[in-house]
Structures are given as C-alpha cells and as structure tokens.
Amino acid sequence: MTQVEGARWSEFAGIEPDGNYLSDDHRQQLLEEYFFQRAVQVYLQALPIVNIIGLRDGSQARWGGGYNVLPIWKQRMDSACRVPTPNADVIYAMSYLDLAADGPLVIAAPPGILGMLTDFWQHALSDVGLAGPDHGQGGQYLLVPPGYDGPPLPGGYHVLRSPTYNVFLFWRAFLTSGEEGPETATGVAALEQTVIHPLYQSNPATWKPMRFPDASGEQVDMLFPRDGGFFDLLAEFVDYEPVEAIDLRLRGMMASIGIRKGEPFEPDARHREILDAAARLAPKLAVALNTTPDSYPGRRYYTGAEKRRWLNGFPDVDENFHAGTYLSLDHQATFFTVAYSASPAMALNIIGGGAKYPSTFWDADGEYLTGAEHYRLHLPPNPPARLFWAVTLYNPVDGTMITVDGHPIPSVNSLDKRVTANPDGSYDIYTGPSKPLGAADANWIPTNPGEGFLLTLRLYGPTHTFFDQTWIPDDVERMKP
C-alpha cells in the first residue's frame, strides 16, 4: 500500500532482486509507488493549466461563460473571492475565451488599462495596454486558434496566435484617489469599453451583447483542486486541446497515469486512491519549497543587506520560468501554487513601467509571520513606485486573501489619502489582531490569531531607486501590542 502523505523511497531502497525476480508483493508495491510518484510530478508540472481551469470553472459557474461575459470586480476584489494572490488595489476584469467554439476573436481593448492575454499554460500571448503594443491607447487584438487554416487574416490588428484553444483575458484598471478612500468608477468605466466578437461576424447586430457582471463581494471559489479531481480536469483539457499544446514528454508522464488524448480517463478505485493522495501531497511539496528561502537560485532580493527577508517573484527567469539553460520547474510549481498569471511586464526590469512584488513569509528574526503577533513594516521615504504602492496579506498555503470579519480587503495602498505618512515621507504599516496605539486606522491590516500570512509589497511603475537598491524596504519587525 502506497503511503498517503509521501513517497516511501527509503523503505523501497532496500528491495533488491539479487539476480532473482521480485516477489509479487514487492513488485506491486513498487508499481504503486511508481504510479504515485508520476502522479505527484504530473500535478506539479501541470499546475499552470489546472490553476487557470480552476479560475475559469469558478467564474463560469457563477456568472456564465461565453466571449461576451467579462466579470468586473467593480468595488475591488476582496476576500470573498478565493483566488491565488489577487491584487485588491486595482480593478480586475477576467474572462475565458474558447477559440475552438468561436473561431478567431477580435478584442477591442480599452485605453488606460494594464492587461494581458495568455494561453492556458499561462504563457503570455501579449501584454495589453500600458505594457503592450497599443501603449495604453487602446487597440484591436485578433486571437487566432491553433492550426488555423481559414481565409487570409485581415490587417489592422495585433495578431496573436494561441497554441491552446482556451485563452485567458486579464484586464486591470487603476483606482483613483478619493476623500473617503480609493475610488473605482473611472476604472470600471474604462473596462466596460471592452468589446469582443467573432472575426467573421462583421455585422455588429449579430454580436452577443457584452455583459459586465459585478463580481465584488461575491462568494466564489476559483481555486484549483487539491484532491484527485485535479486529474479529471487535466484529462478533460488534454482531450480538448490539440496534441501540440502539451510537450510529448509530459504527455508521456500523463499517459502513465491513464491520461491520454482520445481515451476515457477511468482509474479504478485503487488508482483513484493513489491519485487523491498524490494531489494532497504535491501542493505541500510546493509550499515546502516556497517557504525555504534558497530553494532555487536568486530568490533573495537583497543579498548584500543585513537581515533582509524579501523574496523575488521572478529570480533569474523570464515570464515562462526559463532560466537560461533549463525550465525552472521548482519555481513554476511554487508560483502557481499561490499565484496566477505571468507576463513579460512582471519579469522584466522596466524603470517606470510594469510592477515588482517583493514578498516575505518571515519577520526580521526569521520567524514565520503569524496573525497572533503584532508587526510593523517600515517603508523608507519616497517609495519607488511611479503609479502606486500597496501592502497585502495572503494565506501562505493557497495565496487567498486572509479573511477577517469586517475587513474584506487586507491591504493598504498609497492611493488612499487616509494612509498617514511620517514627517520624513516614510510610512509605517501595521499588522496584528488589534490596532497599535497611535496608528492610523488606514495604516493597519487586521489579522487572525492562529493563522500565518504571506506579506507582499507591490510597486507599480517601479523607479530607478528600486533597481539600484538605494531604496530598500525594512524587514517586518515584531512589536509589542
């Protein structure tokens, strides 16, 4: 019987044939261990796919599907929505397009957004908006399905050929500063200018009217499964998409656990039990990697500074996790366990553009951050963010926003005029189960005792002092209540 929570390699290492056949019991044990280990690796390597399928299925179960449906978090995304490391300090709009069902699609992107279009490996087809070819002026994008052999494509579009039929549309619009806090009306109005329609429906009267449901405050689970259901979703994807959408080596690994294109995925009860055990273990392995500072190269942002605990979200890799001579599978797995969507603007160092996300699991003493303690994060004067900065707290295991009754958005951002600066232009941001004496309400993020958290500092439009490290955030300091 294979162990439920982990591989028994140490036990099986002693099973040697010594010139004789394996016993039937040992052979069966080894075959089950082989199946288990394959399933764990398939889970970790296919995370980008099933991660985005979780988003799609959760969204479409609540708001419906179709190229014309674009849910917008019109009052900001909050902890009611279970997605990995969402950004509460911009306005989200997310949709899921199917080029097999609808053929080539035209997307009229509105001006002033920061967005992306990705395939279902979450490989960017293009940045859109401020970091894209329309440079924030708005533009016409044409999504073309894999293997397209239809009429010649017309000019006048930014043409994007997707290797998967499924495509993720992810728009972000910016908050504006209001007297009572950040406001969303201007950004929502921009997002609602999006128009999507099939290329070969030239008459606008035939287009499905765009729908922009308000997703804010909606209880919706958009996380990927952490049980054997993961493999069922993966099998559906494998059967739907073209062969070329998945590397043959990974297809071979999938085939060894019964996932093959054109064949039903029907594991028996024993193999289903092993798949379920593998799916429970695999994300824990990724969490173990993620919470180990040097688990892969270049993770520490500030190697020359004393006691700096900040991690780099894209250390020595591009947006597809290519690290020069290899694909960083460890980094890919840790990223998609607690996050989603990667684009060139996130990985490249663009002074005044894109965004950077220093994050930490630890306080200055190297202890895990916990909601039972009180902490202060000191940001030195002039935080290097041309657009805005924000501090947000997440569950360290699945990346969802922490949930505290009465506080649905566990974040502080510089667009909020109520956030108080120190006389020298620095900021102190506080976390803890109660507000420290003298701290401004807007500078405090409540936490739950008994729950750990991941803290992320977002810098939108990072300036040169971030890149030359003449500005470095302090570590998170534990303090007395």
pLDDT in tens, 92-103: 999 999 999 999
- Band of residue 4 on the pLDDT scale cut at 50, 70, 90: very low
Identify the burial level of 315 via C-beta atoms within 10 angstroms of its C-beta, where 0-12 means exposed, 13-18 middle and 19 or more buried: middle
Last residue of a domain, one of 175, 202, 221: 221
Is residue 141 in a domain? yes
Q: Terminus-to-terminus CA distance in the chain, angstroms?
A: 50
Same structural domain, 310 and 205: no
Q: 88 near 401, Cβ under 8 Å? A: yes
In a shared domain, residues 321 and 406: yes
Pairing of strands 444-446, 427-432: parallel
- Which residues span the domain enclosing 465? 289-479
Residue 11: its pLDDT value, please? 66
Mean pLDDT across the chain, nearest whole number?
94
pLDDT at residue number 303: 85
- Give the CATH number, domain containing residue 381: 2.60.120.600
Given 221, 243, 274, the domain boundary residue is: 221
Domain tally, the chain? 2
pLDDT at 417 exceeding the cut of 70: yes
β-pairing, 411-413 vs 90-98, is unpaired
pLDDT value of position 2: 45
Q: What CATH number is attached to the domain comprising 139? A: 2.60.40.1610
Does some domain include residue 283?
no
**In a shared domain, residues 375 and 458:** yes
Domain stop point among 170, 197, 221:
221
CA atoms of 354 and 343, how far apart (whole Å): 9
pLDDT band at 210 (very low <50, low <70, confident <90, very high): very high
Q: Is the pLDDT of residue 363 over 60?
A: yes
Same domain, 65 and 191: yes
In-domain check, residue 71: yes
One domain for residues 367 and 459: yes
Cα–Cα distance measured from residue 312 to residue 340, given in angstroms and rounded to the nearest whole number: 15
User: 239, exposed or middle or buried, with CB in 10 Å at 0-12, 13-18, 19+?
Assistant: middle
Residues 116 and 195 in one domain: yes
191 and 324 in a single domain? The answer is: no
- 78 and 170 share one domain: yes
Model confidence pLDDT, tens digit, residues 32-68: 999 999 999 999 999 999 999 999 999 999 999 999 9
In a domain, 454, yes or no: yes
Do 88 and 202 have their domain in common? yes
pLDDT above 60 (res 20): yes
Query: Given pLDDT bands bounded at 50, 70 and 90, which one contains residue 13?
Result: low
Pair 299, 390 in one domain:
yes
In-domain check, residue 348: yes
Measure the CA–CA gap between 224 and 448, rounded to whole angstroms: 24
